């Protein structure tokens, strides 16, 4: 099966009445990669993943998973594919282990020892006997990954796995995805967090209102990102803008929430700030704006028109 794409989606479209939730999306995920589908709320990520799992039918386009389509292969199209859409659900009054055992039974049984193995992979071996009702949200998400791993999939599909987690939960979930990827599993995940996708994905499709606004490697995306911005609050923005106009290598613009944003090399920003002080323009605040890739994400997904 090597060489066959894990996911090959071509021209996939889904409409709800007048709303085009997913508009002709094509994306290819090679085996062994971690692929991100990134977009703000409502971009169409979950709808796309639902179509991938055959939970809803596309109005147009084809989806092949390891070369198989739903139309040709029926439920066999999902062989080797596992994951969760939105948050996984468990019986709160049963332990993590019993929940997994129940799921394994429904699925025709898991390989001997697999249940304990997946609990170990997701770092829940110590808490597997505790009731799920007492789990943190992050633990429940990891149990969801364990449930998906029971089938020993080749492709793991995760819908915003770190959504709603606290910082420790986010860290643990990202570490888990990285471990799984390092073990050779192909992972397709959706996210609305550029930092997360940058940290764990090889390639990304960025969506905005159903359409693709970027498609490619994280490295190429980084190259397109603007320079790091510095938010400069001054007592005289008009004068500060005048002084900025004489610095062609620096891009300075008004920030929508007040003050200015200066973008350019660190040395140019430093020189500009020094000049403001020398010229008697009081600086009331200086802070980094969002990271360059995050700025690019907002530029791509909030553009009007
Ligand atoms: N069953 C449905 N009926 C009508 N509209 C729907 C349905 N499912 C999704 N939509 C709409 O399709 C669009 C895409 O929704 P979707 O849930 O796929 O976005 P998303 O990128 O996953 O966002 P979120 O992060 O908020 O889940 C939204 O405008 C949503 O309201």
Cα 265 → chain centroid: 29
Q: Indicate the SS3 state at residue 225.
A: coil
Q: What is the pLDDT of residue 257?
A: 78
Sorted by sequence, the CB contacts under 8 Å of residue 178 that are 6+ apart come out as: 34, 200
| 3-state SS record for 111-171 | CCCHHHHHHHHCCCHHHCCCEHHHCCHHHHHHHHHHHHHCCCCCEEEEECCCCCCCHHHHH
Does 21 sit in the ligand 1 pocket, CB within 6 Å?
yes
Residue 132 CA to ligand 1 center (angstroms) comes to 29
Does 234 sit in the ligand 1 pocket, CB within 6 Å?
no
Does 205 sit in the ligand 1 pocket, CB within 6 Å?
no
> Mean pLDDT for each consecutive 10-residue tract of the chain (305 residues)?
86 95 95 94 93 93 94 87 87 95 86 91 94 93 94 93 89 93 94 91 94 91 83 92 92 84 90 94 88 81 67
Residue 188 near residue 155, CB atoms below 8 Å: yes
Q: What are phi and psi of 247, to 5 degrees?
A: -120, 90
Dihedral-angle region of residue 215 (phi above 0 means left; psi in -120 to 50 means alpha; beta otherwise): beta
DSSP secondary structure code for residue 296 in this structure: H
Does 46 sit in the ligand 1 pocket, CB within 6 Å?
yes
Q: What is the pLDDT of residue 304?
A: 55
> Which among 44, 49, 85, 211 is the best mutation to test ligand 1's pocket, defined by most ligand atoms within 8 Å of the CB?
44
CATH architecture assigned to 7-223:
3-Layer(aba) Sandwich (3.40)
Which ligand 1 atom minimizes the distance to the CA of 14? Answer: 12
Residue 267: other Cβ atoms inside 10 A: 9
According to CATH, what is the number of the domain 229-288? Answer: 3.30.70
Does 41 sit in the ligand 1 pocket, CB within 6 Å?
yes
Name the residue ranges covered by the structural domains of the chain: 7-223, 229-288
Identify the residue whose C-alpha is closest to ligand 1 atom 1. 16
Nearest to 54 by CA among 69, 35, 36: 69
Cβ burial of 105 (10 Å; 0-12, 13-18, 19+) is exposed
Residue 44 CA to ligand 1 center (angstroms) comes to 6
> Which among 38, 43, 86, 211 is the best mutation to test ligand 1's pocket, defined by most ligand atoms within 8 Å of the CB?
43
Does 151 sit in the ligand 1 pocket, CB within 6 Å?
no
Does 44 sit in the ligand 1 pocket, CB within 6 Å?
yes
Identify the residue whose C-alpha is closest to ligand 1 atom 14. 44
DSSP 232-290: EEES-HHHHHHHHHT-TT-EEEE-TTSSEEEES-HHHHHHHHHHHHHTT--EEEEEE-S
Residue 159 CA to ligand 1 center (angstroms) comes to 13
The answer to whether 7-223 and 229-288 have equal CATH topology is: no
Which ligand 1 atom minimizes the distance to the CA of 48? Answer: 18
Q: What are phi and psi of 34, to 5 degrees?
A: -105, 115
> Which among 13, 47, 190 is the best mutation to test ligand 1's pocket, defined by most ligand atoms within 8 Å of the CB?
47
């Amino acid at each position: 099966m090597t060489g066959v794409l894990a996911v090959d989606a071509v021209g996939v479209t889904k409409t709800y009445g007048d709303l085009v939730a997913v508009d002709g999306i094509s994306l290819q995920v090679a085996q062994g990669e971690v692929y991100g589908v990134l977009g703000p709320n409502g971009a169409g990520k979950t709808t796309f993943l639902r179509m991938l799992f055959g939970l809803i039918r596309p109005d147009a386009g084809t989806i092949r998973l390891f070369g198989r389509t739903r139309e040709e292969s029926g439920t066999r199209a999902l062989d080797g594919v596992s994951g969760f859409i939105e948050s996984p659900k468990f019986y709160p009054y049963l332990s993590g282990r019993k929940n997994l055992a129940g799921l394994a039974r429904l699925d025709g049984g898991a390989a001997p020892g697999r249940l304990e193995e997946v609990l170990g992979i997701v770092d829940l071996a110590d808490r597997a006997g505790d009731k799920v009702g007492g789990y943190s949200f992050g633990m429940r998400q990891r149990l969801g990954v364990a449930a998906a791993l029971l089938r020993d999939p080749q492709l793991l599909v995760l819908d915003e796995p770190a959504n709603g987690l606290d910082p420790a939960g986010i860290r643990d979930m990202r570490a888990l995805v990285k471990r799984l990827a390092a073990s050779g599993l192909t992972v397709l995940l959706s996210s609305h967090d550029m930092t997360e996708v940058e940290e764990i994905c090889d390639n990304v499709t960025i969506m905005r209102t159903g359409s693709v606004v970027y498609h490619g490697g994280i490295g190429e995306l980084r190259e397109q990102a603007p320079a790091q911005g510095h938010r400069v609050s001054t007592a005289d923005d008009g004068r500060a803008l005048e002084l900025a106009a004489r610095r062609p290598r620096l891009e300075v613009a008004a920030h929508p929430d007040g003050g200015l944003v200066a973008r350019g090399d660190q040395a140019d920003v430093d020189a500009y700030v020094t000049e403001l002080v020398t010229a008697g323009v009081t600086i009331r605040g200086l802070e980094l704006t969002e990271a360059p890739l995050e700025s690019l994400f907002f530029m791509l997904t909030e553009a009007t028109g």
